Each structure stands twice: as C-alpha cells, then as structure tokens.
Structure 1
C-alpha cells in the first residue's frame, strides 16, 4: 500500500511539472478564452505528425476499397467551402493559415465527418446524402470540426491521457508490473484519435465554428437547421461524430443565443 501511495505521488508530481496552462486560440468575437492544460513533452508538431500519418492510412484504405473521392461533384463542393473557411482561421490563430489543409470524401453510409489536428478533413457521403445538406449546413459542420483542430482539442485530450499513463507507468514501475503491457503511446494516440470529445470542447467548437462560418459568408442560422435535421435523423439518433455532444435542444438554444454576435461579420457570397 505504501508503494501505491508513493506511485500516486510520483504520478502527481509528473503531472504538475509536465503540464502548462495555455490558450491555444485567440478568443475571437465569440469569446472562447478557457485555459487548457497541455503536456510540454507532447508538442503540437508531434501531434500533427501523428494525425497526418493516421489520415494517410485512412486515405490509403479508402483508395484500396474504391471509396475515396468517388463523387467529384460533392468533393468539389466540400473543397470550395473549406477554401472559404480557411481564409478566416487567422482570426483564431495566425499559424493555421499555413497548415497543410486537406479535404477528402469517403463513400460510406455513415453520418460522419472530422478534422484531424493540423487540418486534415474527412467527410463521409452518408452525412451529405442522408441529411441533404445545403452549403451553409456543410459549412456549419466543417467549421465545427475545424474548430476542434484550431483549438487543439486533440492534443488536449492526448495530454490528459499522457498524464494518466505517466501515473500508471510510475505505479507499474514501483509495483513491479511489466511496463511493456502499458503501451502508453498507443493508448495516448487512441484517446485523441478515436474517443469522443468532452462536452466542454464540443461547445467551444460550436462557438468557434459559428463565427468561422459567419466570417466566410455563410448563414449562421444554418447551424440551427443542421441540428434540426440531426435531431430528426434516425428517429432522433445522433450521428457517430456527435455522439457525446450536448442534447439537441440545449445545443440549438446555445447556437441561437450566439448567432446575433456573429451574423454581422461576413457578407454572403
């Protein structure tokens, strides 16, 4: 038991000395200013490299299955919307305008979309076809997912997992457990790349995405119609990529309350 308490103390010390408080984005008009905790040993560039490698694997798998970028009309639509949104990312962080942004499309019935750290965007045809999305509604989804990358929610999640695994590894060393079974790096990557975001992060992505789409000239009210469609899809089921988001009514209320803050920021194209 003494060893266990000692391990916990070591893990806590690692957590305190290996983290820093940062705000990864400027607040914008919408005012997202929460301080985040990041592990200093886990740099943005390292996270982006891991994300880019995972993205390349998804592209290769999609190509092998004959499912990558098959609908050229939809792909063109997505890339044009992304181009407009990317023009305004500097409002939240200047370096993001130099990211290697990329947009691809997978033929799949899944209602899914994501943006990996560093700007790697993927849409699934299912969400476009099933919900019959307008350009404005696509911009609402894409802006939301881009906001996760801008805000570095992936690195934030990885930092939490990293700290937890450091604590577990310290306990394993002191208690004689085989650390090879811990597979810390795999657990950390899995935490950020496959597990859902927290509700706090989702709300932040809603707000930043709302401002981003408005600045790009899209109608921010489309974020509300998008969620009305989401609510109706599958008898009220939630698409996979939104599985831990706030309840639909809560989300819609929050979006409506913030639309007046951003609707004057852009001119429709």
Structure 2
C-alpha cells in the first residue's frame, strides 16, 4: 500500500507514522465459505467505531425518510423484504460467527432509485424503485440482499474508509481513528461518504457477488436468479449499470462469474430447499 503524507506537512512525521502503523492492521473479516473468499484486508478504522457511526447515520436516514412519508409505506412489501432477510441472516454465520447476533434492521424506502444497501452491523435499506421497476421475484430480492449483506460481512465500507485516510480523502476520519483532531463525530460523515459517495472497487463487488449467491442459496433462494437479476438491471439501464452497480465488472464477465459461482453453490440451495419453508 502506497501512503501519501503530503497533507500531513507541519505535523511531526515520525510520531504520526508510528501512530498510523499502530492503527493499521491486517484482518480476516470472514471465513472463506464455499465460494472461497480468502483475501485479507488492511484496516485503520476500528470495527466498533464503524458500526457505531453507521448506526447513527442509518437512524438519520430513517428519520429523514419518515419526515417525507417515505418509510415503510407498504406493509406487505416491507413484510416481504423482512421475511427474505430472516432467511438470509442465519446464513451469515457461515462467514462470520458473530453476524447472526448483529442488531439487524431492515427497512423499505419509497424512492424511484434502483438501489439497496447494507451498512456496517446489518443496517439494510431497500428502495421501492428497484423492487417495483424490475418486478423482482423473491429469489432476485435475495440475490440483491445477499450481495449487500456480503459487503457488510466483509466490512468493505470500513476498508474503503481506511484507504481514504491514506489517500487524502478522509482527513477528519483519520483524526477520529487516531485520537487526534476533531471528535469521533466526524466519523459519521466519513461513513456516509464511503457508503454512498465513494464507489466500491471491482474487487469488493466481485467478492460481494460471490458471497451473495452463497447466502441466497443457504437461505433457500435460487442462486441462479443473480444472473436474471443482472439481465433485468442491464435492460432497465439501457446496457449501463445503475448507480447501485456502477463499478461492477462488464456485463458479460459478471454474468459468467455469477453463473459459475451459482453452479458451485447449487448443492447448498438444494439442501436448503429441503429444510426451509417459505416465510409468510
């Protein structure tokens, strides 16, 4: 990793470098799973601080949606999305033993956007636009949800925040993480940036795709629906990916990869369908 310290001029470089080395650590956020995710990650932001800031940011988003009468307006739709989540959340334990015990929240926001996300600690939001405009099946919703949950399991936002610190994007977040500069409240702004403004890398997206099909399969949802989902989204976006998938690999490459990994986890899906009854 190449560190850029230009913005740190005027500070004691030796002391700061020592602090950064202390704060930076290599972590293994998840088990490999059937899809074989093995990459280790460099982190400078603590997992606890990221979850705390994400929770505060999430509650702020929900509050704003509530003020606009855009929060959980359709009970049947909300129940449907939450029912799918109830089947996927237990499967997170195959990647992280602690994840099923997270304080999960699942809400539906009324918006025309083709969007969905899951913040650190299991804070999920689905936008009505992606459900209604694409006429999603439960399997396709599970494909999206599995993908987004995978981002949270792998702590991709935390990783992006850590990278931002050393590329002069998250100066205030760096101060919060190292105990210098502004208070930890600045981390909330950093979480918003890495969650919504800075795109995921293709590496992150590929990891989330592969883990997502496994989560869906373990929850009893057909992992092959990830391919049909992408076909729908590509068509809705005139061949270009929507904002939700702005940094994904090319259409053909992604479909081939999803098909390959969906086939790999089909035995998990077949096992799950034998024991999982539809959630009503």
Q: Are 1:214 and 1:220, in contact at CA under 8 Å, matched by a contact in 2?
A: yes
Q: Are 2:53 and 2:188, in contact at CA under 8 Å, matched by a contact in 1?
A: no
2:55 to 45, 49, 52: 52
**Cα distance in 2 for residues equivalent to 1:12 and 1:166:** 18
CA-CA distance at 1:4 after TM superposition: 5.7
Could you say which residue in structure 1 is the equivalent of 2:35? 30
Could you say which residue in structure 2 is the equivalent of 1:203? 206
Alignment of 1:150-165 (within 5 A): 150-165=153-168
Could you say which residue in structure 2 is the equivalent of 1:176? none
Could you say which residue in structure 2 is the equivalent of 1:174? none
2:249 to 238, 246, 259: 246
CA-CA distance at 1:247 after TM superposition: 1.5
Could you say which residue in structure 2 is the equivalent of 1:70? 73
Could you say which residue in structure 2 is the equivalent of 1:222? 225
Unmatched tracts of structure 1, length 5 or more? 170-178
Alpha carbons of 1:18 and 1:113: their partners in 2 closer, same or farther (altered >3 Å)? same
**Cα distance in 2 for residues equivalent to 1:16 and 1:36:** 15
**Cα distance in 1 for residues equivalent to 2:18 and 2:24:** 10
**Cα distance in 2 for residues equivalent to 1:10 and 1:167:** 19
Could you say which residue in structure 2 is the equivalent of 1:21? 26
User: What's the Cα RMSD here?
Assistant: 2.5
DSSP-derived class of the 2:209 partner: helix
CA-CA distance at 1:17 after TM superposition: 3.3
TM-score, with structure 1 as normaliser? 0.87
Alignment of 1:155-194 (within 5 A): 155-165=158-168, 185=187, 188-194=190-196
DSSP-derived class of the 2:125 partner: strand
Q: Are 2:112 and 2:127, in contact at CA under 8 Å, matched by a contact in 1?
A: yes
CA-CA distance at 1:189 after TM superposition: 2.9
TM-score, with structure 2 as normaliser? 0.83
Aligned pairs, how many? 255
**Cα distance in 2 for residues equivalent to 1:167 and 1:157:** 10
Q: Are 1:37 and 1:156, in contact at CA under 8 Å, matched by a contact in 2?
A: yes
